[in-house]
Structure 1
Amino acid sequence: MESKVITDSVLVSNYIYGNEKSLEILIIRHKQRIFGFIQSKVLDREVAEDIFQDTFIKVINTLKKGNYNEEGKFLPWVMRIAHNLVIDHFRRNKRIPKFNNTDDFDIFSVISDEVLNVEKQLIQNQILDDVKELISELPDDQKEVLLMRMYKDMSFKEIAENTNVSINTALGRMRYALINLRKLVDKYQISLVN
């Protein structure tokens, strides 16, 4: 009962001054919300448990070093740490794509990060603008196939029928479109990773 009466800021203060039980109360109080958030992003219970533990290791280290200054905002602070660790997890596992030079590189995979804050959204918008600008420089036949495939979600069979070419020709145009996009990215030194 006592843990429901004491505020987060008092518990944080008590923990900083040596009361280990205070941190346990904070973890129990907020576990469901923090863990639920992490699991909703990574969709894997074991990974979510690891990130949850890492989150509180970071919390403990920050509190022990005396670097905590989010008075009265403990939960949002911990959620921000968890959010950053989720992003780190995806980067480590290359789920946030890095630009590489292979034929199966999907330039549109760079625009599918679900966990966007305002800053990331601005960067994302810039990436979208850059990609549109690059597409406009492609030869018309390549641009047409790429737009049908990526923006209209058409199959290569549908593209072939709509453009009066064989499926192999449609596939070839898509391949050349991606190769040319890579060249344009290199030429203009554009970063497609936020």
Structure 2
Amino acid sequence: MKQELQTDSVLVRNYVDGDEKALSTLVYRHKQKIYSFIYSKVLDRDVTEDIFQDTFIKVIRTIKLGKYNEEGKFLPWVMRIAHNLVIDYFRKNNRMPKFDNSGDFNIFSVISDSSLNVEKQLIKDQIDNDLQKIILELPDDQRDVLVMRIYKDMSFKEIAECTGVSINTALGRMRYALINLRKLVEQKNIILTN
């Protein structure tokens, strides 16, 4: 049977058995979707290319080590790896986009006045900085959902697809993230208004 017609799981098995072309077929089959997803988050072709390559290096390593769990869900698994690498990129480069105040989450309604004086701007920057630090203290699954929802303005449907969980699970993680964030804000006595 031609490789183009084989399922992802058959191609993965063939790759494990030493067929290098099987991996090329998998990469070619899913490149557009994965590349577009990464680009939509980082908006930079060079960075997208790097993250795309890192994603497949991780995929190859995991498969070669025999740690790939065969569930016939190759693409969601690769998308999760790409998503985690995107988050790592933002973390490493301290380039988390700023919050936009989208109403629902009062905890994020930080000053949004374009005519901030220097003192207010310093306070706003400190608040943003404090928030980013405490977000890093959240459990990974909660932090990921919160970052995707608030920083990247992704819908819960997109978050669910990206993380390989149900919409209800994504909503639950967001709810717990906000509860835990409020607790951390209180514990650390962070003031979110000027």
TM-score by length of 2: 0.59
In structure 2, which of residues 178, 182, 186 is the aligned counterpart of residue 129 of structure 1? 182
Q: Give structure 1 stretches of 5+ with no counterpart.
A: 147-173, 175-194
Q: CA deviation at 1:127?
A: 5.3
Partner of 2:79: 79
Q: Provide the C-alpha distance between the structure 2 equivalents of 1:61 and 1:38, rounded to a whole number of angstroms.
A: 20
Q: Provide the C-alpha distance between the structure 2 equivalents of 1:87 and 1:36, rounded to a whole number of angstroms.
A: 16
Question: Does the 8 Å CA contact 1:15/1:23 hold for their aligned counterparts?
Answer: yes
> Residue by residue, what CA displacement relative to the aligned partner does 1:30-61 show, whole Å, maximum 9, x if unpaired?
00000100110111111011000000000000
User: Are residue 21 (structure 1) and residue 58 (structure 2) matched?
Assistant: no
- Structure 1 segments of 4+ aligned residues over 6 angstroms from their partners: none
In structure 2, which of residues 130, 151, 166 is the aligned counterpart of residue 113 of structure 1? 151
Q: Provide the C-alpha distance between the structure 2 equivalents of 1:121 and 1:53, rounded to a whole number of angstroms.
A: 30
Task: Give the stretch that moved more between structures: 105-114 or 4-13.
Answer: 105-114
Percent of residue pairs identical: 53
Letter in 2 for 1:80: R
Higher CA-based Rg: 1
Please, what is the CA RMSD of the aligned residues? 3.2
Partner of 2:103: none
Partner of 2:60: 60
Task: Give the stretch that moved more between structures: 23-32 or 66-75.
Answer: 66-75
Q: Provide the C-alpha distance between the structure 1 equivalents of 2:81 and 2:64, rounded to a whole number of angstroms.
A: 16
Q: CA deviation at 1:4?
A: 2.9
Q: Provide the C-alpha distance between the structure 2 equivalents of 1:76 and 1:95, rounded to a whole number of angstroms.
A: 25
User: Are residue 45 (structure 1) and residue 64 (structure 2) matched?
Assistant: no
SS in 2 for 1:68: coil
> Residue by residue, what CA displacement relative to the aligned partner does 1:53-101 show, whole Å, maximum 9, x if unpaired?
000000000011111113311101100100111111111011248xxxx
Letter in 2 for 1:17: D
Letter in 1 for 2:151: D
Partner of 1:163: none
Q: Provide the C-alpha distance between the structure 1 equivalents of 2:24 and 2:50, rounded to a whole number of angstroms.
A: 17
Q: Give structure 2 stretches of 5+ with no counterpart.
A: 98-121, 133-146, 164-169
TM-score by length of 1: 0.59
Q: Provide the C-alpha distance between the structure 2 equivalents of 1:80 and 1:35, rounded to a whole number of angstroms.
A: 13
> Residue by residue, what CA displacement relative to the aligned partner does 1:111-130 show, whole Å, maximum 9, x if unpaired?
74326663752453125534
Q: Provide the C-alpha distance between the structure 1 equivalents of 2:62 and 2:51, rounded to a whole number of angstroms.
A: 16
Which residues of 2 match residues 160-175 of structure 1 at below 5 A? Answer: 174=194
Q: Provide the C-alpha distance between the structure 2 equivalents of 1:47 and 1:35, rounded to a whole number of angstroms.
A: 11
Q: CA deviation at 1:17?
A: 0.6
Q: CA deviation at 1:131?
A: 7.9
Aligned length: 136
Letter in 2 for 1:14: N
Q: Provide the C-alpha distance between the structure 1 equivalents of 2:190 and 2:19, rounded to a whole number of angstroms.
A: 63
Question: Does the 8 Å CA contact 1:70/1:77 hold for their aligned counterparts?
Answer: no
User: Are residue 91 (structure 1) and residue 144 (structure 2) matched?
Assistant: no
